[in-house]
Amino acid sequence: MAGSLTNDTWNFAAITAVWEGMLVLSAGLLLERVGLLALCPMSFAGVGVYTVVYLTQHESLPLPLMLAAALLAAIPVGILVGGIALRLRGVNLAVVTFAFAMVTSTFFNTFGFPAQFSFDRKALMRPLVLTSDRDFFLMAYSVLILVGLLLSLHSRTERGRAWLFVRSSERACLATGRSVAAVKIEAFVISAAIAGLAGGIMAYQTLGSVSPSLFDPLQAISLVAVAVMVGAGSLTGAIVGGIFVAVLPIVLGDIGINSTVSSAFFGIGAVMVLSKGTGGMTATWPWIRRSPAPGVSAAPSSGSGTTAQTPVARQVGHREPAGSPASGSVTDACALEIQGLTVRYGRVMALSDVSLKLAPGVVAGLIGPNGAGKSTLIDAVSGFVPSYTGRITVAGQALEHLSPNARARHGVARTFQTCRTMPELTVGAYMSVFARHHVDQNLRDELIDYFELPPANQLIEFVDVGTRRVVELAGALVARPKVLLLDEPAAGLGDLQSISLGNKIRALPMRFDCSVLLIEHDVELVRSAVDELTVLDFGVVVGNGRPGEVLKLQAVADAYLGDTAPANPQSMDLPGAMAAGDPSAQASR
Amino acid sequence: MLNQAATGLFPGGIYCLIGICLLLVYRVGAVVNFSQALAGTFAAFAVTSLTSDGLPTWFAITAGLLLGAAIAVVQGMVMARYLIEASVLVRTGVSIAMAVTLFSLSLVIFGDNPRNFPVILGGKFSVGGIELQTAAILAWALAIVCGIALGLTLSRTRLGIVLRAIAHSAPTAETLGVRTSRYVVGVWAVAGLITTFAVILIAPATGSVDAMGLLVGPAVAAVLLGGFRRIWLTVLGALGIGLAEGVTPMISNTQLAQVCDSAVPFVVIAAVLFWSQRKVSVGDIR
């Protein structure tokens, strides 16, 4: 058996490696960059093959047009499956796409390709320059490189980075003002186009006689297994994967092992990769491994912790002159006004007739025991509560019936209680996704300076969790929001960093022309950072006004300590501090 | 036409059996097991190797059942050992990879040539003019027994509570002192055993590695009809899909019928999933 391999075999296999690589790339970019498990890349390719073979029988187009036709024909199918992905997520999508792969496989095995068995079938002709397999391989390989380069360029744009947001958390993507649906459809269009192009190359490789058995479900899911194994979101991974798929069977055949065993390898390989427990669907190979930005240590960023930047000292040329607070100068409308907000989850009243006014240029605090409804309020304002009664307006604009990303575009920015940053992005890249139309580098750099963040080229993977939450906060400000809703931003920060953050938050309206609603458990931080304070308990407002006064209210103490709290003003300042050995407290139990 | 539909009863019963096993593995192992039918496929082919070597049929079938269960045990051990904290999606990805492995190993070791699969229960009989296969009755009887057993176990017994706890969060169950890996492996073994029996039962009618491995498709559709929760809806779903597959060859163009046959599960799956997700609102997405 050995030595029977000729140059012809290798040349043919090389072309196979190219289209297999494209298919692996098509599946991998959906999986690794958007987090979508779609098991039908072969179906898209099949559309490409079908188109080219069909056109051969009816027209005779030059090769570039044929490939373009294959690519374009696959796009509507991609949009169809993408539409399904808007409604179905995770395993549901995998199941549906698997069923779709089964249907297309049966279709191609039953009907074959146009004129497959007829006598006056026209063969697909390659251009003269590309008649030899070796030359055709070089052309196909160039196309693959080009596709990879275009994808790489795309991944550096804000649209491309938004894909990672969808993968990490759809909510995070919506909060930047971008549409999740647009991202998913775009991803499927690109994936289907690449697969369709691969189909065109498949057709030319065999001069129009493509075997329908290539589209069997086993092949389809083998492909996805390979994509998982090699981490196929990148071009290098795809090339490696393609070579693997094309070459391994030949090598095995040459040493006398049935070439189908190679599929078994892919399966086992994928199982091993997934079992590594990275939590994701891909391995970390050398071409994906990331390292800290040079010159920067991976240690947590140390906030100065002592003094905040004085708000008036720093001026930025393109902004309105600082020194005069934004409040009162532009508009009389409240930055945020909530009237009679009621939110029900089944029979539980999360919020009951809550009203709140946030004047422009003000930092307001929202505190309350766990379960009081604070996060629900932020969810309601930012659009993540499906239905509520009441009215919410931002700068005079009512928010009812607006989707979360529409609200973000209207000036509502928020952070999340669970940090939703992407380790694969740099600090600067992450923040730039929030920019609406073009990225204002000055603003971004100013924010990095202001919050003492790691440099813009530092990967978030090497930033500690507490600082990541501040990065999230800074990102939200890139969009120049009118209202910034902060959900416990200091959680995960040390004492000194918390104080420093509190001071910076206090100066936000002056520096960045927005109003802030701050949820925090750290009452000291809240007291020092906010101008006014609202207290929630079981979904109801129990106190509202200046921090010093509100914190002395009996109702507030009751909310934190229970009804048996002693009427001792000093012990009310810090919730959770029990008045030790107070006889009146014990007597009233 | 009733006779035509009745031919779908046998596959329907098999889908029901496999579907119940899928449901069991999902409810406890938190994974959609794409490779469910493949342990059985491998075992069924092994059975033919044994019978062609001259061993008695009952011995070969018993060995096949044990082999299928053993393969399932290995799968369960991988899941329990390495993927205890993984998400459902990652585990499903692993089951897909396992499917690829088992598919190709079956093809490599046994080839794809036609084989003589032993018929466990042959024969037909007529009820009121409709022809029914005996094997179909066996499949349905077994499916209903398994379904009832599964339902009662999960809802009424202490074992059921433990299993449901593991499905909800295996790491948490571990901290409560539950040896989750034993239960997970046990569930995979039981599901593997029953599915192997189902595949061996229908093997004479299917014949190829492809067709047998893909029995999982309609079974998944049936389980989906029950929202991956309700056993009786799974049973009804399998019945419906089987009958639909029996009836579709009545379309005149046989090629089109073949495609429609395979399209039935897809349409069912897509429609059911869309319907089940209709109330998913912006508040539910994370």
Least confident interval from A141-145, A467-471, A493-497: A493-497
Domain match, A102 and A218 both: yes
Highest mean pLDDT among A175-189, A510-524, B94-108: A175-189
Q: Are B100 and A263 in contact (CB under 8 A)?
A: yes
Domain housing A453: 419-480
Q: Which residue from B86, B99, B282 is facing A383, i.e. has the nearest CB?
A: B282
> What global pTM score does this model have?
0.84
With CA atoms as reference, report the closest residue to B214 among B262, B264, B257, B267: B262
Least confident interval from A107-121, A189-203, A345-359: A107-121
Question: How many other CB atoms are found less than 10 A from the CB of residue B228?
Answer: 18
With CA atoms as reference, report the closest residue to A144 among A76, A38, A225, A240: A240
Contacts of B261 in chain A (CB under 8 A): 106
Whether B94 sits inside 8 A of A263 (CB atoms) is no
Whether B86 sits inside 8 A of A260 (CB atoms) is no
Domain match, A456 and A353 both: no
Contacts of B98 in chain A (CB under 8 A): 267, 271
A2 has a pLDDT exceeding 70: no
Beta pairing partners, A483: A412, A515
Closest approach of A96 to chain B, Cα-based (Å): 6
Give backbone dihedrals phi and psi of A508, rounded to 5 degrees, phi first.
Answer: -60, -45
Closest approach of B123 to chain A, Cα-based (Å): 30
Closest approach of B130 to chain A, Cα-based (Å): 30
Q: Is residue A299 part of a domain?
A: no
Of A284, A316, A350, which one is at a domain's C-terminal end?
Answer: A284
Name the residue in chain B with its Cα closest to that of A404.
Answer: B282
Q: Which residue from B98, B104, B210 is facing A260, i.e. has the nearest CB?
A: B104
With CA atoms as reference, report the closest residue to B94 among B77, B71, B78, B74: B78
- Identify the band that residue A234 occupies on the pLDDT scale cut at 50, 70 and 90: confident
The token duo for B17 is 């059996």
Q: Is residue A568 part of a domain?
A: yes
Alpha-carbon distance A186 to A373, whole Å? 37
- Using alpha carbons, list the distances in angstroms from residue B42 to A221, B21, B36, B114: 18, 17, 11, 14
Domain match, A402 and A428 both: no
Domain match, A347 and A254 both: no
Whether B221 sits inside 8 A of A383 (CB atoms) is no
Domain match, A462 and A476 both: yes
How far does CA A113 lie from the centroid of its chain?
Answer: 39
- Identify the band that residue B92 occupies on the pLDDT scale cut at 50, 70 and 90: confident
Closest approach of B270 to chain A, Cα-based (Å): 6
Question: How many other CB atoms are found less than 10 A from the CB of residue A581?
Answer: 7
A190 has a pLDDT exceeding 60: yes
What region does A331 belong to: left with phi over 0, alpha with psi -120 to 50, or beta? beta
Selected residue of A42, A43, A102 to mutate for chain B interface (largest B Cβ count, 10 A): A102
Domain match, A390 and A247 both: no
End-to-end CA distance of chain A: 91
End-to-end CA distance of chain B: 49
Contacts of B83 in chain A (CB under 8 A): 274-275, 277
Whether A95 sits inside 8 A of B273 (CB atoms) is yes
Whether A216 sits inside 8 A of B262 (CB atoms) is no
Of A456, A480, A504, which one is at a domain's C-terminal end?
Answer: A480
Contacts of A181 in chain B (CB under 8 A): none
Q: Are B211 and B43 in contact (CB under 8 A)?
A: no
* DSSP letter for each residue of A464-530: -HHHHHHHHHHHHHHT--SEEEEESTTTT--HHHHHHHHHHHHTHHHHHS-EEEEE-S-HHHHHHH-
Q: Is residue A391 part of a domain?
A: yes
* Strand ranges of the sheet holding A540-545, from the earlier edge strand across to the other edge: A412-414, A483-487, A515-519, A363-367, A532-537, A540-545
Whether A87 sits inside 8 A of B88 (CB atoms) is no
Q: Which amino acid is it at A544?
A: N
CATH code of residue A543: 3.40.50.300
Closest approach of B227 to chain A, Cα-based (Å): 11
- Identify the band that residue A571 occupies on the pLDDT scale cut at 50, 70 and 90: very low
Of A480, A505, A525, which one is at a domain's C-terminal end?
Answer: A480
Alpha-carbon distance B119 to A261, whole Å? 30
Place of tokens 């499956």: A81
Nearest-5° angle of CA B84, CA B85, CA B88? Answer: 90
Contacts of A106 in chain B (CB under 8 A): 258-259, 261-263
Q: Are B178 and B51 in contact (CB under 8 A)?
A: no
Domain match, A89 and A194 both: yes
Nearest-5° angle of CA A554, CA A555, CA A556? Answer: 90
CATH code of residue A87: 1.10.3470
Per-residue pLDDT of A456-492, as tens digits, reads: 999 998 998 889 999 999 999 999 999 999 999 988 8
- The more confidently predicted of residues A478 and A286 is A478
Contacts of B286 in chain A (CB under 8 A): 169-171
Q: Is residue A342 part of a domain?
A: yes
Q: Is residue A322 part of a domain?
A: no
Q: Is residue A323 part of a domain?
A: no
State the total domains in chain A.
3
- The more confidently predicted of residues A218 and A500 is A500
Domain match, A357 and A491 both: yes
Closest approach of A589 to chain B, Cα-based (Å): 35
Name the residue in chain A with its Cα closest to that of B228.
Answer: A92
Domain match, A345 and A462 both: no
Closest approach of A62 to chain B, Cα-based (Å): 33
Q: ipTM score of the complex?
A: 0.85
Alpha-carbon distance A475 to B284, whole Å? 24
Question: With b meaning 16 or more CB within 10 Å and e meaning fewer, what string describes A327-348?
Answer: beeeeeebbbbbeebebeeeee
Whether A274 sits inside 8 A of B87 (CB atoms) is no
Place of tokens 């979508």: A36
Contacts of B221 in chain A (CB under 8 A): 99
With CA atoms as reference, report the closest residue to A42 among A58, A59, A26: A26
Q: Which residue from A171, A263, A404 is facing B103, i.e. has the nearest CB?
A: A263
Domain match, A59 and A170 both: yes
Q: Are A333 and A383 in contact (CB under 8 A)?
A: no
Model pLDDT, residue A282: 57
Selected residue of B100, B102, B225, B280 to mutate for chain A interface (largest A Cβ count, 10 A): B100
Contacts of A107 in chain B (CB under 8 A): 259
Alpha-carbon distance A166 to A175, whole Å? 11
Whether B224 sits inside 8 A of A95 (CB atoms) is yes
- Identify the band that residue A568 occupies on the pLDDT scale cut at 50, 70 and 90: low
Domain match, A474 and A406 both: no
Domain match, A258 and A130 both: yes
Q: Is residue A571 part of a domain?
A: yes
Q: Is residue A318 part of a domain?
A: no
Whether A261 sits inside 8 A of B108 (CB atoms) is yes
Whether A267 sits inside 8 A of B99 (CB atoms) is yes
